[in-house]
Amino acid sequence: MTHDSDPVAPIVADGSRLAAGLLLAIVSAASFGMSGALARGLLDTGWTAGSVVLVRVALAAAVVLPFGIVALRGRWRLVRRNAGLIGLYGLLAVAGAQFCYFQAITHMQVGPAILIEYTAPAAVVVFLWLRHGQRPGPLTLAGAGVAALGLVLVLDLLSGADLSTAGVLWALAAMVGAASYFIISADESNGLPGLTLAAGGLVVGTAVLGTLGLVGLMPMTASTARASYAVGDVAWWVPLIGLGVITAALAYVAGVAANRRLGSRLASFVALLEVVASVGFAWLLLDELPRAVQLLGGLLILAGVVGVKLGERTVRTEVPTPA
């Protein structure tokens, strides 16, 4: 007996794509989350945030670029056709998000700055609603609210924090960069391989950050002193390699791949796990122990992500009625 089609196959394929996307998103979030703890050791020895982020992005570009070229398979027309998109990705999602965040934390506490930047998932939902008519369902909105509450608890903001106007504006600019990262990298319609997009964005980001350093908008100072962590002292280049290879190269490549499998909405909410990961790595590498309320916040973030995923089934696309 033969069958014209197998109704189970699409379900299995979708399930496999979802599972792979979630795994890649978790890898990306964990990798990004390691950056703060690794950078702290360098900042304490005299490195400026600008120097750390420039070397981090430049190393990542050097690692990912060969893979991005191979992924093209000689189809350089894709790069020419999407040059503007690659430039926008590098400007907003790579250089813009990082530069604006580091500017924000020069004016305000780290916790509030991260919380403002991680309103990006809400911005993604609003963008998809306004631009593509994808109206969020009740579960998506509820999941967003639960995840936001979880962030507040993880960052321990209930004790109160001083906010500055300049800091808030820079953090909001970083949020735009983060939202751009999810929206641009989730789009597969341009035909550009994910590796190529990541490589091109990192190259553009390096150029932009380097320019900011040259013109003096981003202070650049470095040191060869050993960096101290809870596990012991290490040579200055060890955390730099970790920042470039793990927290940037791996994080961006895995993130782009995850975004294309999950879509920008769900991927942006799964990425909230980066905050949980940053707390965990601060515990392991810096002996900064998370409090019970922060652990509760992590569970709420997970619950929020599940709610957003369930809400994907209720998203309605609004089609304009012809006049």
Mean pLDDT across the chain: 82
Residue 107 CA, distance from chain mean position:
22
Q: How far apart are CA 150 and CA 288, in angstroms?
A: 19
Residue 76 buriedness (CB in 10 A; 0-12 / 13-18 / 19+): exposed
Q: How many CA atoms lie within 13 A of 31 on its CB side?
A: 23
- Nearest alpha-carbon partner for 61 in 253, 235, 191: 253
Residue 124 has pLDDT above 50, yes or no: yes
With 0.85 as the threshold, say if the pTM is over it: no
CA 89, 127, 117, 284 dihedral sign is: negative
User: What does the pLDDT look like over 147-196, one tens digit per residue?
Assistant: 778 777 766 666 655 557 888 888 889 889 988 988 898 888 888 998 99
DSSP state of 290: P
Q: What percentage of the chain carries pLDDT values higher than 70? A: 84
Q: Which has the higher per-residue pLDDT, 14 or 2?
A: 14
Q: Give tens-digit pLDDT for 224-269.
A: 999 999 889 999 999 999 999 999 999 999 999 998 888 877 888 8
How far is 42 from 47, CA to CA, in rounded Å?
6
75 contacts 160 by C-beta, under 8 angstroms: no
**32-69 confidence digits (pLDDT tens):** 888 888 888 898 898 988 899 999 999 999 999 999 99
Name the one residue in this structure whose structure tokens are 């957003």: 308
Instruction: Say how many residues make up the chain.
Output: 323
Q: How far apart are CA 247 and CA 235, in angstroms?
A: 18
SS3 232: strand
233 phi, psi to nearest 5 deg: -85, 145
pLDDT at residue 96 above 80? yes
